[in-house]
Amino acid sequence: MATHKTLPGFRDFYPEDCSLRNHLFSVWRQCAKRFGFQEYDGPILESLELLTAKSGDEIAGQLFNFEDKGGRAVTLRPELTPTLARMVSAKANALPRPIKWYSIGENFRYERQQKGRLRSFYQFNADILGEAGPIADAEVIGLLVESLCSQGLQRDEFIVRLSDRNLWFYFIESLGFTGEQATGALGIIDKMERMPPEKALAALGELGAPDPAKTFQAITDFQQLPDVEAIAAFLSKMDLSEESHDKLNGRLDAWRELLDLLDAAGLNDFVKLDLRIVRGLAYYTGFVFEAFQTVGKGRALAGGGRYDDLLEKLGGSAMPAVGFGMGDVTLRDLLEEVNRLPRLIDKADIFLVYTGDAGFKAALGDAYALRRQGLRAELPFREAGMGKQFKQAAQSGADFTLVYGPEELAQGIVQVKHMRTGEQKAVPAAQLVGSVLALWREG
RNA sequence: GUGGACGUAGCUCAGUUGGUUAGAGCAUCGGCUUGUGGUGCCGAGGGUCGCGGGUUCGAGUCCCGUCUUCCACCCCA
């Protein structure tokens, strides 16, 4: 048993895990590029204050924070959005709009781990800043959907549940909640899916709801509404103030616009309106969404939304923004669960076998020549019987095996064996590199 | 941070009411094979049974603690 283990919630990446991780990253990158997003990154260590400014002091309980040797309160980043906000704010006047940026990086959260939730994880983040219209929301959602598809997931294996924090806020307001109360109510609504009704009712009462039972009923009814027209019909039956009416209908117009865009983009089958989603974070300001796997445990795969006020709150200039984050852990788990992890083969192109020191030197020289041509060429470190060397050649997955024995050396040739067909031909040693390259390209 | 379950080789697991030196398959390495292949046959290495303490003549097995992993809370950026 190893004396030293990874810390809880941290992972070792053995070659197999590492190539899988690289593959996931590369798919994310390709998707983001197809949508015209540019990659950025920031430091893994940030000042604690940057995080508490965004999320409040309580967040420190979930952070890997400590004091550095200069007495600064610092923390490993738990997410990338504050860093993004800082970077964009600092150059806000110089950056062409819309700003479409993505990043893939490691994040850290100090909490007890469970399956799909580790203390260290990688997250794919994509954000559009400087565009307030629904086209930005649509593009971000589109990238989210295409990313999951490109990772190998199929249409019926996940769904993006789309909701609207502002619509909720205005609705709650129309029920008689004010400022602080309304935010608290949204927090309760966010949890109602996993909460017994009596408890939710009680929580609304504690919050000071004017008429808890009636409010609870209104909220549960609202949550069930299946589409925009149902919401419109529901609202028309309510006795709304003119202000509420205007605010709510403004959101419905935005909804129609967004759904129209998603429809044109061919994303209808992947996205559905679902007002049970609220998202706990107080800084979301408009459309919010979460992608869930629809097979197995129904875990959340990604989440995001609009946060038009965040940059200003963090001390920058006001700028509309929308984005999402997607973690590597649940995605990997899901791909494994549906048996859709890619088979990543890491095979050699050319394997060289030899006899004697002269054979070894000749093989080594040719191996380097082939490597300089971009081929992966390998040879055994120590001489062994031909049978054993060929076994190694087979295990390496090489397409061709080159033989350097006394007979070949004497004749000035190299035997080139095509491993798949078993055919073998002699090639003049002087023309080896060109001949092998030609054979290899033929397959 | 709270509560529960689990823990035997790199992996998947056996291991009798507590009784010799803890086993198998897969994987790894070697041999059969001194110039030609992943199969086959033979063999080897690898475990202070998560760790620490206790009960006992004797503990992988029973008890306590602790850590880890998993599950439910908390939280979910």
Annotated binding site of A for L-histidine: 79-81, 109, 123, 127, 279, 283-284
Please report the pLDDT score of residue A38 as a whole number: 98
Please report the pLDDT score of residue A2 as a whole number: 56
Whether A391 CB is under 7 Å from strand B: yes
- Asked whether the predicted pLDDT for residue A90 surpasses 80, the reply is yes
- Closest nucleotide (C1' vs CA) to A2 is B50
Per-residue pLDDT, averaged over A248-276, amounts to: 96
Residue nearest to nucleotide B50 (CA to C1'): A1
pLDDT confidence band for A3 (50 / 70 / 90): low
Please report the pLDDT score of residue A59 as a whole number: 81
pLDDT confidence band for A1 (50 / 70 / 90): very low
Whether A111 CB is under 7 Å from strand B: yes
Q: What is the pLDDT of residues A107-117, one digit of tens each?
A: 999 999 988 89
Whether A192 CB is under 7 Å from strand B: no
DSSP H helices in A97-227? 134-150, 165-174, 179-191, 197-206, 212-224
pLDDT confidence band for A345 (50 / 70 / 90): confident
- Closest nucleotide (C1' vs CA) to A393 is B37
pTM of the shown model: 0.93
Q: Using the structure, give the distance in angstroms from the CA atom of A281 to the C1' atom of B21, rounded to a whole number.
A: 61
- Average pLDDT in chain A: 92
Q: Which domains does chain A have, with CATH numbers?
A: 15-42+80-337 (3.30.930.10), 350-442 (3.40.50.800)
Record the tokens describing residue A314, joined without a space.
């963090």
Closest by Cα among A59, A65, A62, A48 to A113: A62
Per-residue pLDDT, averaged over A321-329, amounts to: 96
Whether A441 CB is under 7 Å from strand B: no
Please report the pLDDT score of residue A253 as a whole number: 97
CA distances for A415 relative to A9, A40, A353, A429, angstroms: 52, 50, 10, 9
A127 contact partners, CB below 8 Å, separation of at least 6: A81, A84, A99, A100, A101, A102, A140, A321, A322, A323, A324
